[in-house]
């Protein structure tokens, strides 16, 4: 009699456990990916576990301290979950999503000065780029961009870069040559390097009956815009953060003013 009751008890417990598992009380990972990548700016992922309704990303100790936002991407780098529910604790990032088995990449925002993007998580080696903000130069990108981007993306970026360079050259060519102020005490010469790859302008001052070189500025970025009745050409001396020089062209680009001078400069033919 006692044996029969014990059998019924264990049978009930077993049924209960099975029902809990069926209803989602137990969750077993479908796939686990382990990585041996080097850390990028101190951030390293050890493995990712994929469940039916979530993924777990386990970081190496002290890789990140907090998570503010997460985005999930598919294998074609399209966003498949823009604002999923997530939890972060003890080096483990848990992302709840109905697209768990389709996730191949993520963007993680740790704070306003640091975020990182990861691709190819559904393989044995991921690719990561980390963006960290520095007040003096802006965002710095760390990581292997050659591995991160596809060949198609790199070719498109190269085409875009060439198109931008060509457009900037057309703008810069409007300044090319020598410009002299009305009092004939200052000259500004815009030119290219010998191989035509780099732009620069040189400021000369007339002192002791001769022109003396005062400053040489290398240019990285060029832009133009309409300003009142003139054409404003802006020159930067650093690709991400630096000094800005503005020049204003009038009268069919033969008269120029500078933002740091009240004098007009005349184009020397």
Is 157 within a domain? no
Q: Report the share of the chain in percent with pLDDT over 90.
A: 62
DSSP H/E element including 209: none
Q: Are residues 266 and 254 in contact, defined by beta-carbon separation less than 8 angstroms?
A: yes
**Are residues 39 and 135 located together in one domain of the fold?**
yes
Read off the pLDDT band of 235 (50, 70, 90): confident
Is 190 within a domain? yes
**Are residues 189 and 111 located together in one domain of the fold?**
no
Q: For 34-66, what is each residue's pLDDT tens digit?
A: 999 999 999 999 999 999 999 999 999 988 999
pLDDT higher than threshold 50 for residue 21: no
DSSP at 208: T
**Are residues 136 and 177 located together in one domain of the fold?**
no
Q: Containing domain of residue 99, as a range?
A: 27-149
**Are residues 182 and 101 located together in one domain of the fold?**
no
Residue 85 structure tokens: 């529910």
Q: What are phi and psi of 245, to 5 degrees?
A: -120, 130
Rounded to two decimals, what is the model's pTM?
0.71
**Are residues 32 and 145 located together in one domain of the fold?**
yes
Is 6 within a domain? no
Give the residue with greater pLDDT, 7 vs 259: 259
CATH of the domain at 184: 2.40.128
Is 60 within a domain? yes
Structural domain total, the chain: 2
Is 76 within a domain? yes
d(CA 224, CA 171): 7
**Are residues 36 and 133 located together in one domain of the fold?**
yes
140-153 as b/e, with b when 16 or more CB fall inside 10 Å?
A: eeebeeeebbeeee
d(CA 136, CA 134): 6
Q: How far is CA 118 from its chain centroid?
A: 12
Is 9 within a domain? no
DSSP at 35: -
**Are residues 126 and 63 located together in one domain of the fold?**
yes
**Are residues 144 and 198 located together in one domain of the fold?**
no
β-bridge partners, 116: 108, 130
Is 154 within a domain? no
The per-residue pLDDT of the chain, averaged, comes to 86
The CA-based angle 113-117-119, given to 5 degrees, is 170
Is 187 within a domain? yes
**Are residues 140 and 195 located together in one domain of the fold?**
no
**Are residues 177 and 145 located together in one domain of the fold?**
no
pLDDT higher than threshold 80 for residue 229: no
């Amino acid at each position: 009699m006692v044996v029969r009751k014990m059998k019924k008890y264990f049978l009930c417990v077993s049924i209960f456990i099975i029902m809990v598992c069926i209803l989602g009380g137990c969750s077993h990972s479908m796939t686990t990916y382990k990585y041996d990548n080097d850390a990028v700016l101190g951030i390293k992922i050890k493995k990712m576990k994929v469940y039916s309704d979530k993924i777990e990303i386990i970081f190496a100790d002290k890789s990140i301290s907090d998570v503010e936002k997460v985005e999930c991407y598919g294998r074609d780098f399209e966003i498949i979950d823009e604002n999923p529910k997530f939890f972060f604790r003890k080096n483990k990032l848990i992302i709840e999503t109905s697209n768990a088995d389709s996730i191949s990449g993520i963007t993680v925002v740790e704070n306003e000065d640091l975020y990182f993007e990861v691709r190819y998580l559904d393989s044995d080696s991921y690719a990561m780029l980390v963006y960290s903000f520095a007040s003096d130069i802006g965002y710095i990108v760390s990581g292997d961009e050659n591995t991160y981007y596809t060949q198609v993306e790199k070719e498109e970026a190269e085409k875009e870069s060439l198109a931008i360079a060509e457009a900037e050259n057309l703008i810069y060519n409007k300044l090319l040559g020598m410009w002299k102020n009305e009092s004939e005490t200052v000259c500004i010469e815009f030119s290219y390097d010998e191989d035509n790859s780099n732009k620069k302008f040189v400021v000369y001052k007339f002192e002791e009956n001769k022109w003396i070189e005062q400053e040489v500025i290398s240019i990285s970025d060029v832009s133009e815009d309409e300003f009142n009745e003139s054409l404003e050409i802006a020159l930067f001396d650093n690709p991400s953060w630096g000094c800005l020089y503005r020049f204003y062209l009038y009268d069919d680009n033969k008269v120029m003013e500078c933002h740091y001078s009240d004098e007009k400069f005349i184009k020397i033919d």
